[in-house]
Chain A
Amino acid sequence: MILMSMILILLLGGLAAWASESLSPNAPKWVAALSLIIAPYPIRYILYDLGTSTNEGWLINEVTLWIQRLNITFHLAIDGLSLLLILLTLSMGLIAVMAAWKEIKTRTGFFYFNLLWSLAGVIGVFCALDLFLFFVFWEVMLVPMYLLVAIWGYENRRYAAMKFFLFTQAGGLLMLVSISALVLLNFQESGVLTFDYLDLIAHQLSPHAAFWVMLGFFIAFIIKLPIVPFHNWLPDAHTQAPTAVSVILAAVLLKTGGYGLIRFVLPMFPEVSVEFAPYAMALAGLTIIYGAVMAFSQQDLKRLIAYTSISHMGFVLLGCYAMTQQAWQGAVMQMLAHGISAAALFALVGAIQYRYHTRDLNELGGLWQVLPKLSAVGLFFVVASLGMPGLGNFVGEFLVLLGSFPSYPIFTIIAALGLILAAVYSLAIAQRTFFGPLKLGEALDLDTREILMMTSMAVILLWMGLHPQPLIDLAQHTLNQFPLGATIK
């Protein structure tokens, strides 16, 4: 019941936040922050033991029967990889609450309710080991997210929210068909009706069937990641979403796609994945370049960062399908580092927009003169997103490229070109926002809340860049189960 209680804390916290609005419009944010802080309490002993234990196998594994008729269980379990992503979710949730602190003034109760419920859904996705349960969480986290964009978003919020929901739902339905087929094929051969991941992973499908089943999962996950050509919901959703929601979207929601690839697609369909790898790698290369080029031509700062996210997520896909240990480690590192650096960049844009009510690059410029603290912090994260050694993003990208080169040199070279483009767009952000002549008026610099928020993210990134080994160790066990040595014939 440990993991379930963690999810319950968030769900109940959401209800409490909604109810507390009647006391004061300020109460919900405190309730939300508090529930995010106490949410890790149930898994405290795992966190204590991190340094000492070997982290082998499942750290927590709980099974409760849910729907007897179809043998569906409420199976929640975490290993190192899930734990990392859950910690990322909770901490970025806290950042999101802080980012929304002053920005959200209307209907605060319902806002924090939706925020906490979508985070609960995401954590559910990272824990669920029953395919039906996974699907339920996968879909359920969308609804509050949709409401967040649709109610508190900017001008074009309805279009963006709808697009976001429809894209993900389309992928979700394909996944549902794949899950059904997988379960029924397993039933046909073994005579056991089960939705359990651990049972289904042991069963190998015939290559033909496996390919189609895998494709359903693959499309669902790359829509979420997102990978070209399924990417175009993301720039709209990011541009229209309020800052806190952009933070959650970039930091956590996109990672569910990468997590899905690592947890489900690769181990469940190892042989087909190896055969499919060149196509996936090609998509990844395309995404990296396309995202970077598109980023460079944006005028809207938020949209620009959204395209950089797409480009960075290309590295995750590249890492997943390189089929080497380093590349997988790199993909995990990239997910974590991007989660933090993109969240920070979106929070920064939010801070700029809060002050100047614009995020148009043509109107910004010279902010260093009036907002030195904000600009300095901004430069730090811009440089992080560029892949500066010593910061988390570098570790991720470097490991991915290192791991991919032996098996797929051409795609790796293309992807490496993306790093040059990353430097171009990153410096463009810095140049056009912080330097040059000042076009806007005076404004208050970062306050204590914002400094706290930014420095904590900066410290984590720095730590990830300088000493990534603990994180890699933690995720290592999950990656060890994968089909190794999938080299090119």
Chain B
Amino acid sequence: MNAALAYALLPWIIIGSTALILMLFAAVKRDHLYISFLTSLGLLLALIVQLIQISEVDYKDSLVIFDGTTTLLSALIIFVSFLLSLLLYPWLESVNDPKEEYYMLFLLATLGSLVVCASSHFASFFLGLELMSLSLVPMVSYVDRDQKSLEAGIKYLVLSALASAFMLMAIAIIYFYAGTLSIDQIVNNSSFILESSATSGEGLANTVIYNTALVFLLVGVTFKLSLAPCHLWVADLLEGSPLPTAALLATISKAAMFVVLIRLFSFGDWHLQTDIVWILSAVAGVSMIMGNFLALLQKNILRLLAFSSIAHFGYLLLTLISMKPESALANESALSNEAAIYYLFAYLITVLGTFAVLMLLNTPHTGPQKPSSAITIDSLRGLFWNKPGTSLTLMLLLLSLAGIPLTIGFVGKFYVTLAAVNSQLWYLVAALIISSIAGLYYYLRLIMIMVEKTDAGESLAKEPFSVTSPILLTTVSSLVLGIGIFPGHLAEIIEKILT
């Protein structure tokens, strides 16, 4: 291993060794506080290293690629896990089962998503993917006092194995045609199939088989991103699994997968393959509409967030589809890529913040924990008058998810609109508008419930003072508002990294 690679891999090494140290430490002495501290420390260290690397590292070999996109999104993923790790301690403290293993799985899942994020080869991609999914399975059913949680665990295990099987099959067929597993060479090597498609019977058969492989691959990808029509698991899973796991599932596992999709499009030139663009357009449109319309009637906040995340990834897919250059109004080639990364950024920050607030609200100070399935919309009733700070932050986050100006979510949506209009994807723009309005309805419904006047509010038990919650709330709201009001700096950073 040469020095450049070692340097590029430093964050991985730090996170991996933190997991190992945790394992050794837990074997000797189980101390929750210490282990929690080590986890956060490891992640913080990795975050600092990754941030330093952002503009420096440029490494590429057959398995991994560290360019601007990778380092920026890796930093974001580590940041998300770091913030979540801070919330784990008070939450796990109220769990009766062994707590230390959760941190290990947490770190391994993060590591897995980093590997996926940096992969430029199907082998490394698959390794990272399995590391991430297999760590998430026990995390989903970690706290087994709830039947729903076990159900969710089994569901995730079976379905994610199925998705992996589809992808493996796809990878095998692609290898058969292209003779390589490197993402950037596949299209070049298999271009003869596309060119000779209609000329002979054999060529036609080859095209059909090759396209089948691509569809198999897309099945796996859409499953992991919970896009329609492979979205059915996500609501049950988010409802059934413990809150921090749900947060991981909704944020970093999807983000990593999306980075792979970005890479397939930008390096693999997938935007030139009209079949794929067509399929993905349909997926994006259906996801936007279905996600937001299904979310309308949910009573559980986590189910609602699950459906809303389907729609958000529909919007994100729109940015990828808009990379096709031929119909662009303005020749700003970086725009779509930039839009994708900005929206992903906005989504991660906002969803993470929402989960953080939900964790703050649902961490019991005494007694056993509420299962996630008990976090209903009604439990927020009158929150604004009892806990104005928490509730204002949550409102801000919901407005950001809805894409109202002065929040980071709006800037993301603005970018998506700009990219979509630039590529003249009018049908998808129409879907975006319709689904945004439906989306607004349920976000507003949550806000409405929060500001409802209640009399029961005054009798709520006074909660003990804690330092984490105000710090966390200010961090989240200042990020959402700060980038929302001054989006320029982030836009410039992203633009610089992409060029």
Q: Do A and B come from one complex?
A: yes
A binding-site residues for B, Cβ under 8 Å: 66-70, 106-107, 132, 135-136, 139-140, 142-143, 146-147, 150-151, 158, 161-162, 165-166, 169-170, 173-174, 176-177, 180-181, 183-185, 187-188, 193
Contacts A150-B448, A166-B441, A184-B421 hold; do A140 and B404 have CB atoms under 8 A apart? yes
| Residues of chain A with a CB closer than 8 A to B437's CB | 166, 169-170, 173
Could you list 10 examples of A-B contacts with CB < 8 Å?
Answer: A69-B488, A140-B405, A162-B441, A162-B448, A165-B444, A166-B441, A177-B429, A180-B414, A187-B329, A187-B330
| Residues of chain B with a CB closer than 8 A to A140's CB | 404-406
B399 adjacent to chain A (CB < 8 Å): yes
Q: Which residues of B, 396-411, contact A by the 8 Å Cβ criterion?
A: 399, 404-406, 410
**CA separation between A57 and B421, bound complex, in Å?**
34
Which residue from chain A places its CB closest to the CB of B415 in the assembled complex? A70
| Residues of chain A with a CB closer than 8 A to B58's CB | none
Q: Are A135 and B405 in contact (CB under 8 A)?
A: yes
| Residues of chain A with a CB closer than 8 A to B85's CB | none
Q: B491: which of A70, A142, A147 is its contact (CB, 8 Å)?
A: A70
Q: B329: which of A158, A166, A184 is its contact (CB, 8 Å)?
A: A184
**CA separation between A184 and B486, bound complex, in Å?**
22
Q: A177: which of B433, B486, B487 is its contact (CB, 8 Å)?
A: B433
**CA separation between A416 and B405, bound complex, in Å?**
41
**CA separation between A53 and B44, bound complex, in Å?**
62
Residue among A147, A166, A177 with max Cβ neighbours from chain B (10 Å): A177
B269 adjacent to chain A (CB < 8 Å): no
**CA separation between A132 and B414, bound complex, in Å?**
10
| Residues of chain B with a CB closer than 8 A to A162's CB | 441, 444-445, 448
Q: Are A69 and B491 in contact (CB under 8 A)?
A: yes
Q: Are B405 and A187 in contact (CB under 8 A)?
A: no
| Residues of chain B with a CB closer than 8 A to A70's CB | 491
Residue among B331, B421, B491 with max Cβ neighbours from chain A (10 Å): B421
**CA separation between A135 and B329, bound complex, in Å?**
22
**CA separation between A48 and B320, bound complex, in Å?**
55
Question: How far apart are A157's CB and chain B's nearest CB, in angstroms?
Answer: 9
Which residue from chain A places its CB closest to the CB of B492 in the assembled complex? A69
B360 adjacent to chain A (CB < 8 Å): no
**CA separation between A151 and B447, bound complex, in Å?**
11
| Residues of chain B with a CB closer than 8 A to A187's CB | 329-330, 332
Which residue from chain A places its CB closest to the CB of B490 in the assembled complex? A69
**CA separation between A193 and B329, bound complex, in Å?**
12
Q: Which residues of B, 133-168, contact A by the 8 Å Cβ criterion?
A: none
**CA separation between A175 and B442, bound complex, in Å?**
22
Q: Are A181 and B433 in contact (CB under 8 A)?
A: no
B63 adjacent to chain A (CB < 8 Å): no
| Residues of chain B with a CB closer than 8 A to A69's CB | 488, 491-492, 495
**CA separation between A184 and B330, bound complex, in Å?**
6
Q: A180: which of B404, B421, B448, B486 is its contact (CB, 8 Å)?
A: B421
Q: Are B444 and A176 in contact (CB under 8 A)?
A: no
B425-458 to A contact mask, C-beta < 8 Å, 1/0: 0000100110011001100110110010100000
Q: Which residues of B, 272-324, contact A by the 8 Å Cβ criterion?
A: none
**CA separation between A132 and B445, bound complex, in Å?**
27
Q: Are A177 and B488 in contact (CB under 8 A)?
A: no
B36 adjacent to chain A (CB < 8 Å): no
Which residue from chain B places its CB closest to the CB of A173 in the assembled complex? B433
Q: Are B404 and A143 in contact (CB under 8 A)?
A: yes
Contacts A67-B491, A69-B492, A165-B444 aside, 20 further interface pairs with beta carbons under 8 A come to A66-B488, A69-B488, A69-B491, A107-B385, A136-B406, A140-B404, A146-B444, A147-B447, A161-B444, A165-B440, A166-B437, A166-B441, A166-B444, A173-B432, A176-B414, A176-B417, A180-B421, A181-B421, A184-B329, A193-B332
Q: List 6 tightest A-B contacts by C-beta distance, closest first.
A: A69-B491, A67-B488, A180-B421, A136-B405, A187-B330, A184-B329
B361 adjacent to chain A (CB < 8 Å): no
Q: Are A106 and B453 in contact (CB under 8 A)?
A: yes
Residue among A68, A69, A147, A151 with max Cβ neighbours from chain B (10 Å): A69
B50 adjacent to chain A (CB < 8 Å): no
B194 adjacent to chain A (CB < 8 Å): no
Q: Are B492 and A180 in contact (CB under 8 A)?
A: no
Question: How far apart are A478's CB and chain B's nearest CB, in angstroms?
Answer: 26
B422 adjacent to chain A (CB < 8 Å): yes
B21 adjacent to chain A (CB < 8 Å): no
**CA separation between A68 and B448, bound complex, in Å?**
36
Q: Are A143 and B422 in contact (CB under 8 A)?
A: no
| Residues of chain A with a CB closer than 8 A to B332's CB | 187, 193
**CA separation between A146 and B402, bound complex, in Å?**
14
Question: How far apart are A223's CB and chain B's nearest CB, in angstroms?
Answer: 12
Which residue from chain A places its CB closest to the CB of B493 in the assembled complex? A69
| Residues of chain A with a CB closer than 8 A to B421's CB | 177, 180-181, 184
Contacts A140-B404, A162-B444 hold; do A184 and B487 have CB atoms under 8 A apart? no
Question: How far apart are A158's CB and chain B's nearest CB, in angstroms?
Answer: 6
**CA separation between A106 and B453, bound complex, in Å?**
10
Q: Are A188 and B330 in contact (CB under 8 A)?
A: yes
Q: Are B495 and A150 in contact (CB under 8 A)?
A: no
B230 adjacent to chain A (CB < 8 Å): no
**CA separation between A178 and B405, bound complex, in Å?**
17
Q: A181: which of B329, B404, B405, B453 is its contact (CB, 8 Å)?
A: B329
B172 adjacent to chain A (CB < 8 Å): no
**CA separation between A125 and B441, bound complex, in Å?**
24
| Residues of chain B with a CB closer than 8 A to A184's CB | 329-330, 418, 421-422
**CA separation between A347 and B492, bound complex, in Å?**
49
Q: Are B329 and A185 in contact (CB under 8 A)?
A: yes
**CA separation between A298 and B451, bound complex, in Å?**
31
| Residues of chain B with a CB closer than 8 A to A147's CB | 447, 451
